[in-house]
Amino acid sequence: MNLFTSFVLLTLLILFTPIMVSNTDPHKNNKYQSYVKNIVFCAFITSLIPAMMYLHTNQETLISNWHWITIQTLKLTLSFKMDYFSLMFMPVALFITWSIMEFSMWYMHSDPYINQFFKYLLLFLITMLILVTANNLFQLFIGWEGVGIMSFLLIGWWFGRTDANTAALQAILYNRIGDIGLLASMAWFLSNMNTWDLQQIFMLNQNPLNFPLMGLVLAAAGKSAQFGLHPWLPSAMEGPTPVSALLHSSTMVVAGIFLLVRFYPLMENNKLIQTVTLCLGAITTLFTAICALTQNDIKKIIAFSTSSQLGLMMVTIGLNQPYLAFLHICTHAFFKAMLFLCSGSIIHNLNNEQDIRKMGGLFKALPFTTTALIIGCLALTGMPFLTGFYSKDPIIEAATSSYTNAWALLLTLTATSLTAVYSTRIIFFALLGQPRFPPSTTINENNPLLINPIKRLLIGSIFAGFILSNSIPPVTTPLMTMPLHLKLTALTMTTLGFIIAFEINLDTQNLKYTHPSNPSKFSTLLGYFPTIMHRLPPHLDLSMSQKLATSLLDLTWLETTLPKTTALIQLKASTLTSNQQGLIKLYFLSFLITITLSMILFNCPE
């Protein structure tokens, strides 16, 4: 009898402790931050044990704790599913959160509400872990909504700023549209399979599952910022950099992809959904890569890079490779969080300067951050034998050698080379050349609270891919042989992107254009998508509903049709046909006299 389940539940329970002491003294003083950080570290260590046990025995577990309610034939319990995905994800998420919390001890140092910030980050982590370990759709929905709410609270952290409030509201609205899909799927599963438990859903694998799977794809598109529901992710960069690093690069935005990965037994038989996912992911990855090319805010470039990688994960799901998508989730978390932390270091050291046109020459001034940034960008583009290579290269290989939509494949390959282009752009503008910032800022990165998290994530960015790929149990047979030109596709596209980008970036120092060209405007304004979609559909919807409800229903059907028409007809008829003079008193008097006379005349006894 091993302690597998105990350690899993202990991990989740440890994280609740700082929330429970939040009304007491530790919450009010400065030690709360280290307390939360150490708690997350303990939870990380505790979660490594079940992960190692799983790697040793390849034995999945289902913990079903507390029977909450039984509604007619639906039994809802508190149940945790400890399989490959949740056991691998928990240590990764806890490690990254630990590093980000240490970083935010440096970054948010002068914030008066820093304790509340840490509490919010911890609440976010808890709800994310609830989502990941959920075995029934109800618990998953609790985690889903929880991460949405914490995202709202954390994006709008500096709530005095209008842009931050708008961005937080935008995140909620776009996530809500995705939630419609999730709720529709839950309702379908309830009415057709009589359950919300994943085990029963996978056992009763009926055939035409288009409706619930489309609902799940919509939910993933909302949460993971696929094309059509994507503008909230770049706007979410209004939040502090630790929030961007945790939520919008590693953890929350992969919740949608994670949902689709969880439901892979249903998706592997449904070709329509796979095609939808593939095309949606391909459009997303190319569109956001194009938008990232001409952004000037370093956090927005990294946000679009996240969006592009999410599109790539969606493509992987569309290729029926859920395990590769999950591996990419884990490896992407490392280097993307590190990229955000490095950009946070740059921003703070340049006195809150986020525009890359005003950075430069940081190669000598911030050597450690420069190293981390360059390694992060190389890992992102899939440099051989760094972390990104172990997940991105198999994805491209699987894409090029499977019987799939060639157009989607072309889009993905183009996006791969564009990844290299905008990475070069970041490196070139932020780090190389001469400084373009005012010289009166004190640039100092010698703080252990800053260096240690980046160092840990750096080691993770270099080695995690190797360690993860060689430790995981094999689940599908990998592709062993392919032609040389297909094998080298990803590397070729990336190298091409690097070379072209470097040449063009060098040109910007010598050539100048007077008017932005049309493609450049398309890219900078995010493809005109927010400009059109944030004003036009709401205006059309609201004016149509006003016309329907007020003008058509209230004024016309209920008021004018019967009552006013009747009155009008009566009025016209009476004015046309009457020729009275209105001598009312005379009429009444004659009536009285007639009545009296007739009563006297016909009542006298004969």
Partner 1 sequence: MTLIHMNVLMAFSMSLVGLLMYRSHLMSALLCLEGMMLSLFVLAALTILNSHFTLANMMPIILLVFAAYVAAIGLALLVMVSNTYGTDYVQSLNLLQC
Interaction between residue 575 and partner 1 (CB under 8 A): yes
Interaction between residue 583 and partner 1 (CB under 8 A): yes
What is the smallest separation between the CB atom of 557 and partner 1, expressed in angstroms?
23
Burial string for 436-463 (b: 16+ CB within 10 Å, else e) reads ebeeeeebebeeebbbebbbbbbebbbe
Interaction between residue 202 and partner 1 (CB under 8 A): no
What is the smallest separation between the CB atom of 556 and partner 1, expressed in angstroms?
24
Number of residues that bind partner 1 (CB under 8 A): 14
Q: Is the Cβ of residue 552 or residue 567 nearer to partner 1 in the bound state?
A: 567
- Hey, how many other C-beta atoms are within 10 angstroms of the C-beta on 116? 15
Secondary structure, 3-state, 531-553: HHHCCHHHHHHHHHHHHHHHHHH
Interaction between residue 477 and partner 1 (CB under 8 A): no
- Hey, how many other C-beta atoms are within 10 angstroms of the C-beta on 173? 13
Is the Cβ–Cβ distance between 62 and 82 less than 8 Å? yes
Number of helical (H) and strand (E) elements in the chain, helices listed first: 28, 2
Q: For partner 1, which residue of 20, 480, 584, 601 counts as binding (CB under 8 A)? A: 584
User: Which of 400, 256, 393, 372 has its CA nearest to residue 314?
Assistant: 256
What distance, in Å, lies between the first and last C-alpha atoms of the chain?
120
What is the smallest separation between the CB atom of 561 and partner 1, expressed in angstroms?
21
Write the Ramachandran bin of 527: left for phi over 0, alpha for psi from -120 to 50, otherwise beta: left
Q: Is the Cβ of residue 65 or residue 574 nearer to partner 1 in the bound state?
A: 574
Q: For partner 1, which residue of 271, 589, 597, 598 counts as binding (CB under 8 A)? A: 589
Tokens of 144: 């889903």
What is the smallest separation between the CB atom of 584 and partner 1, expressed in angstroms?
5
Would you give the distance in Å from CA 341 to the centre of its chain? 19
- Window contacting partner 1 (CB under 8 A); options: 214-222, 319-327, 407-415, 586-594: 586-594
Interaction between residue 558 and partner 1 (CB under 8 A): no
Would you give the distance in Å from CA 238 to the centre of its chain? 15
- Window contacting partner 1 (CB under 8 A); options: 73-81, 368-376, 395-403, 580-588: 580-588
Interaction between residue 24 and partner 1 (CB under 8 A): no
Is the Cβ–Cβ distance between 266 and 208 less than 8 Å? no
Interaction between residue 582 and partner 1 (CB under 8 A): yes
What is the smallest separation between the CB atom of 174 and partner 1, expressed in angstroms?
54
Q: How far apart (Å, rounded) are the C-alpha atoms in residues 472 and 1?
A: 24
Q: For partner 1, which residue of 585, 601, 602, 604 counts as binding (CB under 8 A)? A: 585
What is the smallest separation between the CB atom of 603 and partner 1, expressed in angstroms?
13
Burial level of 576, CB count in 10 A (0-12/13-18/19+)? exposed
- Window contacting partner 1 (CB under 8 A); options: 378-386, 440-448, 487-495, 574-582: 574-582
- Window contacting partner 1 (CB under 8 A); options: 241-249, 284-292, 374-382, 587-595: 587-595
Is the Cβ–Cβ distance between 230 and 223 less than 8 Å? no
Interaction between residue 580 and partner 1 (CB under 8 A): yes
User: Which of 160, 157, 92, 85 has its CA nearest to residue 121?
Assistant: 157
- Window contacting partner 1 (CB under 8 A); options: 190-198, 211-219, 344-352, 589-597: 589-597
Cα angle at 255 between 254 and 257, to 5 degrees?
A: 65
Binding-residue pattern over the window 514 to 553 for partner 1, x denoting contact by CB under 8 A: ----------------------------------------
Q: Is the Cβ of residue 557 or residue 588 nearer to partner 1 in the bound state?
A: 588
Q: How far apart (Å, rounded) are the C-alpha atoms in residues 62 and 82?
A: 6
Tokens of 576: 């046309």
- Window contacting partner 1 (CB under 8 A); options: 299-307, 365-373, 435-443, 591-599: 591-599
Q: How far apart (Å, rounded) are the C-alpha atoms in residues 509 and 505?
A: 7
Q: How far apart (Å, rounded) are the C-alpha atoms in residues 597 and 324?
A: 108
Q: How far apart (Å, rounded) are the C-alpha atoms in residues 536 and 388?
A: 40
Interaction between residue 567 and partner 1 (CB under 8 A): no
Q: For partner 1, which residue of 508, 588, 597, 598 counts as binding (CB under 8 A)? A: 588
3-state SS, residue 155: helix
Q: Is the Cβ of residue 176 or residue 572 nearer to partner 1 in the bound state?
A: 572
Q: Is the Cβ of residue 16 or residue 587 nearer to partner 1 in the bound state?
A: 587
Q: Is the Cβ of residue 531 or residue 570 nearer to partner 1 in the bound state?
A: 570
Q: For partner 1, which residue of 13, 544, 553, 571 counts as binding (CB under 8 A)? A: 571
Q: Is the Cβ of residue 536 or residue 568 nearer to partner 1 in the bound state?
A: 568
Interaction between residue 581 and partner 1 (CB under 8 A): yes
- Window contacting partner 1 (CB under 8 A); options: 25-33, 147-155, 352-360, 584-592: 584-592
- Window contacting partner 1 (CB under 8 A); options: 325-333, 374-382, 392-400, 577-585: 577-585
What is the smallest separation between the CB atom of 554 and partner 1, expressed in angstroms?
22
User: Which of 381, 595, 331, 349 has its CA nearest to residue 492?
Assistant: 381
Q: Is the Cβ of residue 113 or residue 591 nearer to partner 1 in the bound state?
A: 591
Helices (H), 350-405: 362-365, 367-381, 387-400
Tokens of 501: 């980008």
Q: Residue 408: what residue type?
A: A
Q: Give residues in contact with partner 1 (CB under 8 A).
A: 571, 574-575, 580-585, 588-589, 591-592, 595
